[in-house]
Structure formats: C-alpha cells, structure tokens
Amino acid sequence: MSFEFLAIDYRHPAFSAAMLLLVVATVAFLDHLLNFSRKKRQAKKLTRFLSRFDSANSGKDYKALLTLQPDSFDSLMLLADINFKSGQYAESIHILLALLEIVVDKSRRVEAMTRLGRSYHKAGFYQRSRDILLESLKLKARNEEALELLLAIYEQTKEYNRALETLDALEELDGERSLERSLLKAKAIENDPLLSAEKKGAALIELSKKEPRLFRLAFEFTLEHNPQNVWRVIDEERIPDALDLFWRMPKDRFIESEALKYPLLRELYAAKGRTDSATNSAIFEFDALIKLGAHKTIADLEFEYRCSGCMASFPVHFTRCPNCQSAEGARVELILTKSAKSDKERYDQSANFY
C-alpha cells in the first residue's frame, strides 16, 4: 500500500497555509487563556487583600452607583477628596474602598489606592496606610505621592532603615535630599537601643558638623544626656534655631563665661535677667525685656515654631512639618507674654494685704 498521496498533500501550499493558520490560532487562544487566568488570579488576590479592610455597609451605595454608572469614577474620587479635605476621613475611606472593589483600570486603581493610603494615614491607621501604599507600589513603583506618604509613616513609626530605603527610591525620582537623609540618620542614632548616650551624642555632633541644620538636634540631645559637653557643641550661626532651649536652660547647666562669648546669647540672658551683658537688642522681644530692667518679672517669653515651607505655626517644635510634611525645619519665634509668676506674686501680695 502506498502513502504517496499523503506526501503530495503535505507539500501542497494550501496545506502549509492551513497548518500555519492553525498554529497561529492555537497560540492566540492559549495566550488569551493565560491572560484570562492571570487577570482572574490578580482580581482574586486583590479581593482577598481588600477584604482585610472592612468597607462596612455604608460603601454599598457607592458600589451600586459605580456599577450602574461606570463613568462616575471621577465624581466619586472628587467626593472622596472633599471628605478628606474637610476631615471626614472615615467617609473618604468608605468611598475609596467601594471604588477599589469595582474599578479594574490599573491607573485608576493606583490613584484610588494612593488616596486610600493618604486617608488611612490622616485617620491614624498607619499599618493599613502602609499596607495599601505598598500594594499600590506593586502596580506602579514610580509613585511619588505613595513614596512620600510611606516616608512619613516610617518616620512616625520610627522604622528609620525602611525610611532610608524609601528615601533612596524618592531620590531616584527627583534628586538628592541630603537634609532628610541626615535627619533620618540622626533619628536612627537617637533611637538606637544598642548605643550609649555618650556614643549617640558624639555621633550626633559629628553629623551636625556635616549638616549644620542638625545643630539644634545635637545640642538638645547633649543638653539632656551629656550636659557637661553642652558648651562645646555650640555653632554660633545656628543659635537662632535653639533660642527656646537656651532660654529654658536649667541654671545648673548654664555657664556665664561660655554664654557671654556669643553676642546673641548676651542679649538673651540679659533679657532673662541672668546677666547684665547687654543694654539693648535688635530683637524687639529681648530689647523690651532688657528695658523693663528690675520690672522684667512682669513679663515672660513663650515660643512658637513656624514652618519655613507653608508658614503654619505650632506650639511644639518639629523636624517635619505636621501640615505640609516639609523637612526644612521650624523657625523659632518669640512671643512676649504676661508672666504667670507675676500674677501669682500680685495675688499673694493682695491676699496678704487683705
């Protein structure tokens, strides 16, 4: 029996073309099948991930709206934003969770996840915020807003090594941020449980020599933990950053001969009444106190701290602005007030009189 007729068919151009078509169709079908199963796996994984965050019943309305009108994504994002800006973080979270259950577009998911991370962060849920931001970075690694938020969270949770890694990623995106790097290194040293106070102090002083804006941090640490060295770390240029610390310096750490070396401290301690080292000052508050002479006990100084970035002011010192997250630091501002002590003295005197 001969099979020659088969060999003829096999060589026939129509047969080759049919075979090629079949191969192409099979490859396309397999690719489609693989894509479909990959997308299904990703969707399942995401649903599992999101189920860790309780979207509660109030998200149902938003989900229903988005299912009925898929083009309402932008309006719901706007609504989440309005709630965020007015401090309604829980509502903003509900909207964003509902959006994330429905929306499949990758860039929209990244946007909603980043906003969700921001809302969790503001609401004080650092762990949730960190998890959702890390998940968003898996979809888009070069997400600057998510990285900035993560940096703030790692600083707040004192995970300085992770904060430094996040800073590496941010520096790749928008250049060097040497002040923040030095600040994170300083914070890591301050919080290192394996280092003695003396070694911490020495390392902080070393760092502040390279980055003078760290003077206040090094000075404050030394003042508290190694007071015997405090007058050896003064950086005259940076004294304005620490006026409040000099003003409140306990008497047992104050050395008059050391303080008098610096013109600004001569005025500050004359205003405080510890020395007679100045008769006036270019700084209004110091000048007023100096001129009050023996009556200066009726007045006192208080301090507030203004962000050099957004100009918001706060009653406590900060290294990263709580409002705009800038690391540029706080400007120490003086406020002349009525002395609480003088009120008490007047009350005691009047009590004695009657």
Q: Which residues of the shown chain bind Zn ion in the complex (CB under 5 A)?
A: 307, 309-310, 321, 323-324, 326
Is 69 or 323 the residue whose CB approaches Zn ion more closely? 323
CA quadruple 34, 40, 42, 45: dihedral, nearest 10: -140
Residue 274, SS3 per DSSP: coil
Is 72 or 326 the residue whose CB approaches Zn ion more closely? 326
The secondary structure of residue 282, as a DSSP letter, is: S
Per-residue b or e along 331-347, where b marks 16 or more CB atoms closer than 10 Å to that residue's CB? ebebeeeeeeeeeeeee
Is 64 or 324 the residue whose CB approaches Zn ion more closely? 324
Residue 145 C-beta: closest distance to Zn ion, Å: 17
Is 277 or 326 the residue whose CB approaches Zn ion more closely? 326
Residue of 139, 186, 138, 144 lying closest to 169 (CA atoms) = 144
**Number of Cβ atoms within 10 Å of the Cβ of 72:** 17
Residue 330 C-beta: closest distance to Zn ion, Å: 9
- From the number of C-beta atoms within 10 Å of its C-beta (0-12, 13-18, 19+), residue 218 rates as buried
Residue 321 C-beta: closest distance to Zn ion, Å: 3
Is 246 or 305 the residue whose CB approaches Zn ion more closely? 305
Residue 334 C-beta: closest distance to Zn ion, Å: 20
Distance of CA 279 to the CA centre of its chain: 43
CB contact at 8 A, 97 and 116: yes
Cα separations (Å) of 128 from 56, 87, 172, 316, 322? 15, 18, 26, 27, 20
Is 266 or 320 the residue whose CB approaches Zn ion more closely? 320
Is 47 or 323 the residue whose CB approaches Zn ion more closely? 323
The secondary structure of residue 283, as a DSSP letter, is: S
Residues in the chain: 354
Is 289 or 307 the residue whose CB approaches Zn ion more closely? 307
Residue 85 C-beta: closest distance to Zn ion, Å: 16
Q: What tokens appear for 201 in the block? A: 């102090």
Q: What tokens appear for 129 in the block? A: 């915020």
Half-sphere exposure of 5 (CA within 13 A, CB side): 2
Residue type, 276: D
Residue 312 C-beta: closest distance to Zn ion, Å: 5
Residue 84 C-beta: closest distance to Zn ion, Å: 18
Residue 115 C-beta: closest distance to Zn ion, Å: 21
Residue 267 C-beta: closest distance to Zn ion, Å: 29
* β strands within the chain, DSSP E: 299-307, 313-314, 330-338
Is 58 or 326 the residue whose CB approaches Zn ion more closely? 326
